[in-house]
């Protein structure tokens, strides 16, 4: 995914910066502990699509 695009994207809930988890192809919000999927290079920023990170899972990505 384009790094410039990542800079433009914010969490739809808290408007905070997201982390890019390349391995999982997800954008994660460490505040809300949500992971937004990236499908075909296009991140889905819908809360309905997001995966809740379980407490034992580290928030991965940069
Ligand atoms: Zn958030």
For residue 57, being part of any structural domain is answered with no
Q: What is the reported pLDDT for 5?
A: 82
Q: What is the reported pLDDT for 62?
A: 79
Q: What is the 13 CA–ligand 1 centroid distance (Å)?
A: 5
Question: pLDDT tens-digit profile of 2-25?
Answer: 778 888 899 999 999 999 999 999
Q: What is the reported pLDDT for 6?
A: 83
pLDDT band of residue 35 (cuts 50, 70, 90) is very high
Q: What is the reported pLDDT for 3?
A: 77
Q: Which of 24, 27, 25 is nearest to 6 (CA)?
A: 27
Q: What is the 40 CA–ligand 1 centroid distance (Å)?
A: 23
CATH for 47: 2.20.25.10
Q: What is the 15 CA–ligand 1 centroid distance (Å)?
A: 6
Residue 60 pLDDT exceeds 90: no
For residue 58, being part of any structural domain is answered with no
For residue 31, being part of any structural domain is answered with yes
Number of domains in the chain: 1
């Amino acid at each position: 995914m384009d790094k410039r695009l990542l800079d433009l994207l914010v969490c739809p809930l808290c408007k905070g910066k997201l982390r890019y988890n390349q391995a999982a192809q997800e954008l994660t919000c460490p505040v809300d502990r949500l992971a937004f999927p990236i499908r075909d290079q296009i991140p889905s920023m819908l809360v309905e699509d997001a995966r809740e990170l379980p407490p034992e899972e580290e928030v991965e990505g940069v």
